[in-house]
Structure 1
Amino acid sequence: MTFSSPLLSRPGAVEAGGADAGVAAHYGDPVREQRALVEGRAAADLSFRGVVTVTGPDRLTWLTTLSSQQVAGLAPGESAELLLLSVQGRIEYDARIVDDGTTAWLLVEAAEAGGLAAWLDSMRFMLRVEVANVSDAWGVLGAVRQLDELAGLGGVGPMWRDPWPHIAPGGFSYAAVPEDRHPGLERPWFEHLVPADRLGDAAAALDGAGVALAGSMAADALRIAAWRPRVGFETDEKAIPHELDLLRTAVHLAKGCYKGQETIARVHNLGHPPRRLVMLQLDGSAHTLPAVGSPVFPATGDGAGKQVGRVTSAALHYEMGPIALAIVKRSTPPDLPLTVSGEAEGELYAAAQETIVAPEAGQVVHRPTGLLRGPR
């Protein structure tokens, strides 16, 4: 059964599609909602999120052994991000985690929740843990600040604070800019768990304090501007964390063994990720946005040439205009002008690159070469 937020009944609500189905894409003016969200005067309904809970005394040590992150010492109310990887090191699940002292709450994309809960349940063995998919019972409200206005609403769950873009303990930055210049600093982000049947009461409490509702379009535009990857958009079946700068927040490079660790270590120490995430500043003269998956080519004026990547997310930002995230081949020169091919015949978008993951990222160990060469 598809979730439908009670906040869709609010005046002006236009329902989102795709991964955000079940909540409002906007309430009449996405750009105005963005500005209000940035200023802390709005909260976004993100109740398309899937929610999986893990209870039991072994929950945090168990999640540490399974995932890329060290969460065994997570204090009540503390937030983190973890990845569950394939044997080849490819991203299977990306979970936001906050523990309340008795329960670990995992916030994921809606499409991940069922599979994640089933996989975790299959990995319990003899450990003292219980897993539940509680997505239908919980909604999520996102904002750039903690929503203290919800304090008087009974039954509210914990709040997850996005660690992005700060480098977590054991993490490593692949970004082309230092942490103190990362655009993600302009977007602190908090996600509040609210019982699904209390979302209307939560919105009323926010209304009374002068806090409006914003749609998922506004939240996603701020995410793109912050270079924040999203599962199902920036990821595909080949995605590894290095390509998206996720070693920054979701991987502990010094923790014990876990599935996919060999690939994480090998690419980080000895190689380079084959692709890299970039920001695109798009020509706004078309008054439209390229679709997710739109091919990216070197700029030749006619859209011809060999494809070097694809658009993964696109939005109209309230200050920067049309922007997008894209995955491109590592060999693509950072100063190369690009063209995005739209859905209509002949529809082209000129695009200027802004480097997120540097082409030279990786190969931290700098292994010497030529050691096996024989004498000349």
Structure 2
Amino acid sequence: MLLTAGFAACSALYFLVDNVFDGFFIDWFEGFFTQTEGHFNPVEGTGEIWHTINWGRLKPFVLAVFIGGTLLWLTAAFVAAQAAAKRQEKRTITDISQRLRAYMKGSADAVTVFPKEQAEISAQLSDIKSALLENERRLKEETTRKNDLIAYLAHDLKTPLTSVIGYLSLLNEAPDMPVEQRAKYTRITLDKAYRLEKMINEFFDITRYNLQEIALQKEPVDLYYLLVQLTDELLPVLEKNGNTVRLQADEALTVPGDPDKLARVFGNVLKNAAAYSYPDTEIVITAEEKEGAVTLRFSNRGRTIPQEKLNSLFEKFYRLDEARTSGTGGAGLGLAIAKEIVTLHGGRITAESIDETVTFTVTLPAQS
């Protein structure tokens, strides 16, 4: 293509010189690049005139024309190459876009959709598509669990509400009821009302979770004091199942963090340990600082959790005990929120279950 363009340019130049500017060019060339000399023979009355080339003028001119022509040709070649490259780039982008659309909408493998020269693109897109499909699967599972949980809660709300109404009606209809029986009915009604309150709070947790944005207000946090305070606050929950807490931690442990948010993390983990511990067993909390990080472990004795369930503990709306009648599970948000808070603090939270011992490990950056 470049040779064709050069040939066309030379042909046009030749036509201009040979036809359009014929007389003008010859006159100009003879006057500027030639020297005229003559010889007259007086005896014979004849003379000769001849023209010689003025090489002192012609050589620089030819050199300038050559350089100018070369630059012109290179410029034309560069422009043509750029135009060709842009056209090729456009064709490549169009081709990749079509292949990308076909791959993302279809079920074929990236290797079969993209040619070998686009192997790197196909590998990256394969990873992206796998991640998108995994996120989509997780979202569908979360939505399904959320909808099922709402349906269970809506159904289960009727039971304590019916009991509350029934016992209050009995108390209202029998003002002369014996004191012991009245106290029994009052206690049952109060228990059902507490259960009803818990379910309503679960509803609020579900509807509020996707609307809230967790923001941290960091300050130095005294971990030992925080854990002691949480243990005291959760004492009624622990005593219901006969559980006790043993804290093994350095009293000088400090981490940079939001004390309220970290209290929520440790509270959720501790309540989870209490809910799934064997009766009359000990929950052990240890904390130590090592290599710029503080590691906390919450260990309890309870049924061994299968690995497939262990991997889902920190997913939203996942409940280890799917039976609503057990009374042990909440909305399935506690550990998911705990993971988000720990991640925002630059740490991580994991769980393991071996030989009827469940251990939650929380790692946080230490105070510098």
TM-score by length of 2: 0.19
Give the number of the structure whose residues are more often helix, by fraction. 2
The higher-RCO structure (CA 8 Å, 6+ apart) is 1
Of structures 1 and 2, the larger Rg is shown by: 2
Give the number of the structure whose residues are more often strand, by fraction. 1
